[in-house]
Chains A and B, each alone.
Chain A
Amino acid sequence: MSLHEVPRAGTARAVAPLLRVAGLDVRFGTRRGSLHAVRDVSLKLGRGETLCLVGESGSGKTTLSMALAGLLPDNALVSGSIAFGDREIVGLREGALRAIRGRRIGIVFQDASRSLNPVLTIGYQIAEMLRRHLGMARAEATERAVELLEEVGVNDPRLRLGQYPHELSGGLKQRVMIAIAIACRPELLIADEPTTALDVTVQRQILRLLRRLCSERDLALILVTHDFGVVSAMADQVAVMYNGRIVEYADVFTLFRAPRHPYAAALLATNPRHVLEAAAGGELRPIPGSPPNPLDHIAGCAFGPRCPRRHERCAVEPPLTSDRSGHAVACWYPSDA
């Protein structure tokens, strides 16, 4: 019952990418100063591709994913470019953003218990997507909602329509969230730690569901996670983030086989599977120190204080440079490929 039995979404095509981010910078104005959450991030995503954003908390991965849908709070200062299809997201008016959100970009949040409205029925919360974005009539929307629930693997879909979120289990709620997100056939799905709040067995089911939907619908997926198990199961491409920057970017096989950035390598080494292997005869090596406070302004490489390969050169911020195969690293002393 391996996840790998479900076909992965296609690899990048030669056509223009669905999403192209260039030099994205996100700052928050807080009482304690300016919080620089996302620093000079660039990436691209093709149709039907799955990109995983990995990092510890505070790495900026959630902020980045929210920025892509224009879902940041009022006090966020965004500069750079997010080109989604033919539209530029940065600086777009709220009205235009609303037309895109839900319709062309679907979002799945981490905790379905808190992300579903407790006083509205499941049926209503799905159908309103169809009514508002696609102009469907109530009856038609209800029927389509039933179909959607079936597609995401919810049993007894007609019964569920009239139920409220608190009557459903965690796994079912998450399936409902996914149904809501794909209801209008979006081109891009953003999932922020969609399985973290679920039991391990349910996690696999949800991931399988996402994989299936993405390949069936040619849906691009950006998956934010801190769990490399999820990355190995889902990703085509992986971007490792640290302190608001992408420090390594590669396709999943390359990253797992030969990570070049010391942080990425260290993270992979703390992966549970590796930990087990290490316990069997090797060493357990946690990463010393802790991630920097995003409010602090750090000169040079942010990972420097914790890096075993640190040298004088690291006092200058290393740029993200990619080699011919598209594998990018931001390090003065990356491991050999």
Chain B
Amino acid sequence: MARYLAGRIGQAALTVLFLLTFVFAAIRLTGDPTNLLLPAEATQQDRDLLRQSLHLDQPLLRQYASFLEDLARGDLGRSYKYEVPVTELIRERLPATLKLAFMAGGLTLLLGVPFGIVAAQHRRHLADHLTLLVALIGQSVPIFVIALVAVLIFSVNLHLLPVAGVDSPLGYVLPVVTLAWFGVAAIIRVTRVSMIGVLESEYIVTARAKGLPQRDIIYVHALRNALIPIVTMFSLVFATLLTGTVVTETMFSIPGVGRLAVESILNRDFPVVQAVVILVTVIYVAINLAVDILYGFIDPRTRSGGR
């Protein structure tokens, strides 16, 4: 188990390193970095100063090293627009995004798994078809369409929920549901398929032969095995959740880091963009790592040397 953990952590670290290298390369290779890292009105003097501080006259490796150093120290640069350290901006905006993402993630599992189980148990009959239809819609309809339709129905026509903003807890309902929709669909489908496969396994026949109550068969014997692909799907779903937060925050005017990144691109405030990209990706890698570790607990076969 320890070896498995060490392997996974190592891989996560390598991914982060790759990300940082990618960011570094992308900036350096597409022209003069000072164009990006300075506001438009910068003078030649500003440019020269920046050149020096970034060691742009130095070999590439040296620049890379100082880039990594700065990040390690927590120095994410300064925003041009707001003229404060980027870390401050992020600290302000991150909570909203995290709340959104985690609520949506939770909803995904809370709705997806039970509905998937129901669909698997009532295969090919009404409950199954309905569930599959909902899942199909969820996976094909783009997120902003769902958001718009939801707003149209619940805000504009029914006046039940606010159109934008998250000042009140109600304000979270539409964004979270919108965000979770795709994930719920994906989890329903994978739970269903996984459960169907598991329910046809021989060890389930054994469980029946043992005279165990149906509850035990489904939730102890079947679900534990079905979880493995579900967990895999969840980490993929989480990636789309991230995409989704950027769009959802824009759609519902939520003050999160996603919207911050988009605004910063439009404002040519590059340090902020760079910081958000790195931070969010690191969070993403961390979540995936947590999921991998979870594997180790769910499937004992992984612990003793891989599958």
Contacts and interface: CB of A to CB of B under 8 A. Distances in A.
Q: Do chains A and B touch in the complex (CB under 8 A)?
A: yes
Interface string B61-90: 000000000000000000000000000000
B102 to A, nearest CB: 27
Interface stretch (A111-119, A198-206, A244-252): A111-119
A220 interface: no
B159 interface: no
B300 A102 contact: no
A103 B210 CA distance: 8
B211 A100 contact: yes
A120 B224 contact: yes
B207 to A, nearest CB: 7
A332 interface: no
Most central of A99, A103, A164 by chain B CB within 10 Å: A164
Given A118-B300, A119-B300, A120-B224, A109 B202 contact: yes
B213 A132 contact: yes
A128 B212 contact: yes
A164 B301 contact: yes
Identify which of B205, B213, B299 gathers the most chain A CB atoms within 10 Å of its CB. Answer: B205
Interface in B16-64: none
Contacts of A100: 211
B300 A98 contact: no
A109 B205 contact: yes
B211 A99 contact: yes
A180 B211 CA distance: 12
Contact of A101 (B202, B203, B210, B224): B210
A104 to B, nearest CB: 9
Contact of A119 (B210, B216, B299): B299
A240 interface: no
B11 interface: no
Contact of A180 (B205, B210, B221): B210
B252 to A, nearest CB: 41
Given A71-B205, A115-B203, A167 B225 contact: no
Given A115-B206, A120-B224, A132-B213, 6 more contacts: A101-B210, A115-B202, A115-B205, A117-B224, A166-B301, A180-B210
21 contacts: A69-B209, A98-B211, A100-B211, A102-B210, A109-B205, A111-B202, A114-B202, A116-B203, A117-B203, A117-B224, A118-B301, A119-B300, A120-B220, A120-B221, A120-B224, A129-B210, A133-B211, A164-B301, A166-B301, A166-B304, A180-B210
